A and B are shown apart, each in its own frame.
Chain A
């Protein structure tokens, strides 16, 4: 439990700071692991194996709590992770209606629902992907075609607004896809030697700064409501289920991230509004962290930075039988503990954020946030990162100009993955 608490603390820090990914924390803990394990076993009498499991429990807790807390900056500041990028759209629209606290609370419900659903679904998942049903290889080989089908459906979803909008959506999809092909191969470097990828400037521009710049000049953040929220249990349950199932694919399939899975989850819902979007998107990310844990023990493949760190610290026992291995059970319990604590902590934090936020002048604050994000991009990605940010911001501003959805911009990840898997 103390290690789960340490993990929660790091997850909170990583979640609140845009640009700092839990993978960085996992890497740091993994490199310190031998010293921590030695110290623990010397001072507490614990075996080295048990000490190693405690360190892994901290890493898993960090990954889970980060998911909860990343919705705070993405909703209130508009600063996205690649995983939470699509949530900026419903989150921002709810913020502008005075429902910022509600948006984060709904995300918290989605996160904890996703963790619980995933823990319950992990055993059937294992029997479907592995023996005796063994659908894993078939699903893997079908991935690029599933993504192509999703992309076509996404573009055609504009049909109700006219054929011109469909053409515009296809053009934006193509531009974002080409942008992704070029940019994901570029290596950016931090002037301060920090570990980085081009994803941060890409998503900050596409979904973060472009959203804020696109807000009306006269916009003002309304008074944020902090009353307790009312949630339609049926819609929430459906959103959690579709999001968690989509998250299962992310945890299992190589090259797929939560962003693509959220598009699948969107299609799984008939009645889809900003509120069900927040629940569903959050469930994808949190369920992904549990299914990534299951995938590690089923196939030995690490699908996330946290799981890579776990695989380096403890021997990963293959899950062949009916019951999962002991170490997987311990890590799943740590994830559940982290999810429970994070649920309450993030809602308390969101209430405080909401009470302070609406008192701040929106225009000035918006400018400060944009400057803050630009500075962060430079710190993590350097001058080339700033150029990528400028181009991605320009691309991110095109969909509202043409009256189409911003979700077409997810082509930035989908198109490179399709090309990599097919060719």
Chain B
């Protein structure tokens, strides 16, 4: 091998190692949802669970996400361009810049390439708190949701699912699975509006007792 060939081979290897170092140090900082307010202006990478996706006329999207371990810690991801769909419950790794918009911190990214799905949601339903559903049921009309709470006022076909002082009416399609008063349960169903009674309820086929 000529000297020049050896030099080229060594440069190739050393150059690759340098690029590895650049890639490592230039990569965004890993952060948790709770740390977002402290990282304004920085490029970060956050693992989070998708709650909702709202498409914009401009071709972008706003994704509401939460911490995988703490559902009350939430933030928004603004995507400049987005043609993919992200489903409720998808565990994603979001990379972007922390910016402040209208007083709220959010993650800004150019496109859906900044969101990498780690694990798709098996249930394809939104995981919510009872108070979220009870306070604003119209926002979730028609959606598949998953809610946990305590069963109260159990009737033949329906019961109240309560938690934290709030409650939502649940109608079971299979009354054989009706829980007993005081059971801690999780239900998965669709938010429906009863035109006759003028109220919202959760139509479910099954309830799982915790």
Contact = CB atoms under 8 A, between A and B. Distances in A.
A328 to B, nearest CB: 17
B23 A395 contact: no
Contacts of A311: 83
Interface string A169-190: 0000001001100110111000
Given A301-B84, A394-B11, A398-B8, A384 B16 contact: no
Given A185-B23, A186-B26, A312-B59, A391 B5 contact: no
Contact of A401 (B9, B20, B59): B9
A312 B8 CA distance: 46
Interface string A292-327: 000000001110000010011000000000000000
Question: Main secondary structure on chain B at its contact with chain A?
Answer: helix
B8 A179 contact: no
Interface residues of A, number: 27
A185 B45 CA distance: 13
A353 to B, nearest CB: 31
A395 B12 contact: yes
B9 A182 contact: no
A339 interface: no
A279 to B, nearest CB: 32
A350 interface: no
B20 A394 contact: no
Contact of B19 (A179, A187, A397, A398): A179
Interface residues of B, number: 21
B23 A182 contact: yes
Contacts of B8: 394, 397-398, 401
B1 interface: yes
Interface in B1-39: 1, 5, 8-9, 11-13, 15-16, 18-20, 22-23, 26-27
B16 A391 contact: yes
21 contacts: A27-B81, A179-B16, A182-B16, A182-B23, A185-B23, A186-B23, A186-B26, A301-B84, A302-B84, A384-B22, A387-B15, A387-B18, A390-B15, A391-B11, A391-B15, A391-B19, A395-B12, A398-B9, A401-B1, A401-B5, A401-B9
Interface of A: 27, 30-31, 175, 178-179, 182-183, 185-187, 300-302, 308, 311-312, 384, 387-388, 390-391, 394-395, 397-398, 401
The 4 A-B pairs of least Cβ separation, nearest first, read A391-B15, A394-B12, A182-B20, A308-B83
Interface of B: 1, 5, 8-9, 11-13, 15-16, 18-20, 22-23, 26-27, 59, 81, 83-85
